[in-house]
Every structure is written in structure tokens, then in C-alpha cells.
Structure 1
Amino acid sequence: MIKHSLKWGALALALALPFTAQAHKMWMVPSATNVSVADPWVTVDAAVSNDLFYPDHMPVALDRIAITTPDGQTAKPENAITGQYRSVFDVHLTQPGTYKIAAVNGGLFASYEVDGQKKRWRGDAADLAKAIPSSAKNVELSESINRVETFVTNGKPSDGALKPGGKGLELVPVTRVTDLASGEAATFQLLLDGKPAPNLKVMAIAGETRYRNAQDELDVTTDKDGKFSITWPHAGMYWVSASTQDDKSSIKQAKVRRLSYAATLEVLPQ
């Protein structure tokens, strides 16, 4: 139990920092992003790793998985297991349309001193008062909201699952998110608390980085409406990410709010 607590704490600390090309990356990869068969299912791998998309560090916690169905309702992952390096679960696509599969993380991080010794704490706002001693000095508190997503379409694409929730950093596809092709530009919009997020750096990295000497990331910046476009150089799975921070935490004591978003998108050959 202690070992797992330390692992989740390390993951949370990593996710509180801005995404970079070299850092550990949290991702989910479905076995297919487009299906059109009777009684369709997909299997999803979920992990944190250095190389995309090879699990080599730790699994994603299954209790953080949120699946939105085409009609905007929620579904639960099925046949789920967690191994040493990755979690795996199935999604039964019982409705036609596009599904959004997300891993959502949030919490508070604190650093402080007690009797001259530096301490750290991570947890929920409800536990803050009893977690940090009243005698603590030099208390610094920050909030983090992190979202990792992927998308799967059963038959004809739809938009019901793609509506933003209005909290944190979110992606709204303008181009059909499961209909991306190499050599073609795809457009998306980033929202921060439901409003356009301008001037944010967005990074896209193709998978199989373990077979390259460089990450070869594609860098773009959102415009005044939070929109950005990427022209995919070749087919494959891509990890698209953005991060930011502000002082708009919902927790009064927190001076900083750190937010990040990442999505795994499949690009098909023309």
C-alpha cells in the first residue's frame, strides 16, 4: 500500500509540472479509433512513460478514468486490470457515434517547514486543514488540474461527447477528431474554464520515440480564439499536449493553479 501511495504521489507531482518533450508522459492508446462492426469493443492501454507509447514507468489509476458516450452520458471501463507498468480496460461501444475517454487528475500540493525540516504533502482540499500542522512555516500551496484524453468513433462521428465541461484546460475539435489524415491540416480549439485560451504553446509528438534520436515535436501556438492547426507529416499515433498556470485556483490558500491537457490522436494515411 505504501509503495502504491508513493507511486501515485510521484505521478501527481510530475503532472503538476508543465509538459515537456523529455518528461514522463501520461497517455491512453485505444486498439482502434474507428470501428464499424456488430457489437464493437475497443481495448485501451493507459500508462505513464518516457517513450511514446511504450509503458516503462507506471500505470494510470483506473479510478481516474471517465468515459463519455455519444449521448453525453457516462460509461464504466470493463474487464479492467492494472499491471506494473500499465492499466488496460475495455470499452463497449453500445451507441453509434464518438466516445471521449479521459483520465482526470486534480489535487493540492504543499511544501512547508516544521521545526526547520522541509515537508511536502499532496491531497484533496477537504484534508488540507488536518494535513498541515498549525505550527508550519513557509507554507506554499498550489492546485493542479490535469486531463488526458483519447477518442473512438463507432460508425458515423458525432459531437455529443465532445462538449466541454467548463473546468480546466480542455480541447474542442473543429476537424473531426477521428478523421485525421497525413498531409492534411486539422484544427482544434483550447478552452480554459470554458473560454478560449489564447497564446498557448501546443506540442505534438509522433509515437515510437524509442526508435528516434530526437522527439521531433511539432510546435504551434493558439490564436486569439484559442484555435490552432497542425498538418500531420505522416500517419501514426500522436501525443498532443499543452499546459499553463494562473492564479485562479478555487482554493483560497493556493496562490498558483497549474493546468495541463494531453490527447492521443490517430492520423491515418490518405
Structure 2
Amino acid sequence: MKKQLWGFAAGGVLAAMIAVPASAHRQWMMPSSTVLSGDDVWVTVDAAVSNDLFYFEHQPMRLDALKAWAPDGSEATIENKATGRYRSTFDVHLTQKGTWRIASVVDGVMGSYDLNGKTERLPRGTTTANLAEKIPAGATNVRTAESNNRNEIFVTVGEPTNTLFKPTGKGIELVPVIHPNDLIAGEAFTFQFLLDGKPTADLPVTVIPGGIRYRDQLGQIDTRTGADGKVELTLPEAGMYWVNVTTPQVEGEGEGPPPADAPPRRRASYVTTLEVLAP
């Protein structure tokens, strides 16, 4: 069986998370609050895939890969999970002071193969562990590429902490120069993005303010990371913002099978929701 790696334009989870036109679907998580105080604190999170940020009118986000971590790094319990027709929802009991991370990280393999004169795509849910069983006997011209899709939010009780920002070295990850729960409208802030643990230049960054259903202009900001993987942003108004960072798409990618000598293509996507406070 001949096997090669190549770039593949995936559907499903990846398509919902990459930078897309205004009419396409976006995956997001929306916390009831990102900055809290007190000794018995909870956060409720809505999670969906929709056209309008942050309204649920298309489909719920799957919660299979959802996890939460307390400021000391211990894994926390996700409580009261529920999935309806248009959204999922869940609660996290914030029992420690500091910054919590709630994330859905999905790793997979996308690609295609030729069988009986037809080109078939690998089924959804294919991973490096089950790849061999997903490719039928007799398949030829197998093309695969790994993907990593991270959707995460941060919630702080009391003073912000940075203990949960240690990179795992896999996919696109955020290294905040300014804490994501300490953003003020009209004030510049800097984030750094890593790809597989390394600062990476030229990653497309898209920022869209919520509430697009009720305004004429999308308000989208498009930029790219610099040589050190950093991007500086100034968000003009208080509110919730959707942020999406992806690996660049090669011109012509997804428009048919690539040449036999096409180089491997790494596909990764990052999504977060930021709350920007009034001055």
C-alpha cells in the first residue's frame, strides 16, 4: 500500500474552527463571566456552532473532548452537561482562586485513498491510533495529514495566575504576554502563539466581536503573527470577542488531489473567547 502525506481541506470540526467568511459556521464557547470573586463560585458555559456570534441557531458543540483544569493544574469536574438542539451547556465549580482553563482539544487524521476507481475520504473520527483499520484492503494512493483543533476559554477567580499557560508542544497554543482576563477596551495587548511548541510566524489571526446579528458591519480584524509568533491587538469596545488562529492555507489546497511529491501539510486551529472590559 503506497502512502504519502499531504495537505487536505477537512470538513467537520476543522471547518467549523478555521478562519472563514461571515456566512460560515464558527465554533465557540461562551462563559457566563470570565472574572469573578467570592468563595463559592460557579461558571456556566454555552457551547455551539453558529453563524452569528454568540447566538445558537445552527447546532450544538460536541462535549466529548471537553476538560477543565484548576489553577494548581489538577483536572476539575465538568458538571451538569446537557446538549440540546442548538447548543450544549455545562457548569464548572470554581473551588480555587486564580485562573481556570476550560478546553476541548481534538486530534485527528484527515485524508483520502483510492479504491475501485474512486477517491474516498477517511471517515470522521480517524486518529493515528485507528488509522490502519480505517483504510480498507486494496486501497492505494493514501494521503493523510494530522490535525489538531483547540477551543479554550479562561476564567479567573480573584487575582489572575499564569500556572496553566505552560505549552504542551502540540497544535497551536496561546502564550499571553498580557493575561487574557485582563483586557481593557482601547488598550493594546500582545499574545504569542506557538505551533507544536515553537513561536511561529505568519499564522492567520481573525478577531470578530460578538453581537454581529444586530449590526451592519462584521467588524472583523484580520492580521498575522510576526516572526516571534506575537500579535498586538487593540479592541475598540467592551464585550465578547471570538479569536481564531490557524495554520496558513496553501493556494489551491482542497481543489483536488495534490501532486505525488506534495510535501506534508500540518493542519491546526485555535479558538478562544475573550471578554474585553470597559476602561
TM-score under structure 2 normalisation? 0.85
Q: 1:60-103: CA deviations, max 9, x gaps?
A: 22221121211112112111111122110001100000011111
Q: Does the aligned pair in 2 maintain the 1:245–1:259 contact within 8 Å? A: no
Give, in whole Å, the separation in 2 of the partners of 1:160 and 1:230. 23
Q: Structure 2: where are the runs of 5+ without partners?
A: 1-9, 250-262
Q: Give the 4+ runs in structure 1 shifted more than 4 A.
A: none
Match of 2:277 in 1: 268
The total of aligned residue pairs comes to 254
Provide closer, same or farther for how the CA distance between residues 163 and 125 of structure 1 changes in structure 2, counting only shifts above 3 A.
Answer: same
Letter in 1 for 2:216: N
Q: Does 1:112 align with 2:121?
A: no
Mean Cα displacement is larger for which, 131-140 or 91-100? 131-140
Letter in 2 for 1:131: K
Match of 2:200 in 1: 197
Instruction: Percent identity, please.
Output: 51
**Aligned-pair CA distance for 1:113:** 2.5
Q: 1:179-202: CA deviations, max 9, x gaps?
A: 111111111110111111122221
- RMSD in angstroms over aligned alpha carbons? 1.9
Q: Does the aligned pair in 2 maintain the 1:28–1:44 contact within 8 Å? A: yes
Q: Does the aligned pair in 2 maintain the 1:21–1:215 contact within 8 Å? A: no
TM-score under structure 1 normalisation? 0.88
SS in 2 for 1:178: coil
Q: Does the aligned pair in 1 maintain the 2:188–2:234 contact within 8 Å? A: yes
**Aligned-pair CA distance for 1:245:** 5.4
SS in 1 for 2:154: strand
**Aligned-pair CA distance for 1:47:** 1.1
Q: Does 1:95 align with 2:96?
A: yes
Which of 185, 188, 191 is equivalent to 1:185?
Answer: 188
Q: Which has the higher helix share?
A: 1
Q: 1:141-165: CA deviations, max 9, x gaps?
A: 1211010111100011101122221
Give, in whole Å, the separation in 2 of the partners of 1:14 and 1:164. 24
Give, in whole Å, the separation in 1 of the partners of 2:225 and 2:47. 27
**Aligned-pair CA distance for 1:13:** 5.1
**Aligned-pair CA distance for 1:10:** 5.5
Give, in whole Å, the separation in 2 of the partners of 1:87 and 1:176. 27
Provide closer, same or farther for how the CA distance between residues 232 and 245 of structure 1 changes in structure 2, counting only shifts above 3 A.
Answer: closer
Letter in 2 for 1:80: K
Q: Does the aligned pair in 2 maintain the 1:191–1:226 contact within 8 Å? A: yes
Q: Structure 1: where are the runs of 5+ without partners?
A: 1-8, 247-253
Letter in 2 for 1:129: A
SS in 2 for 1:62: coil
Match of 1:82 in 2: 83
Q: Does the aligned pair in 2 maintain the 1:220–1:230 contact within 8 Å? A: no
Q: Does 1:160 align with 2:169?
A: no
Q: Does 1:45 align with 2:54?
A: no
Which of 203, 225, 238 is equivalent to 1:222?
Answer: 225
Letter in 2 for 1:117: K
Match of 1:62 in 2: 63
Letter in 2 for 1:126: A
Give, in whole Å, the separation in 2 of the partners of 1:242 and 1:54. 21
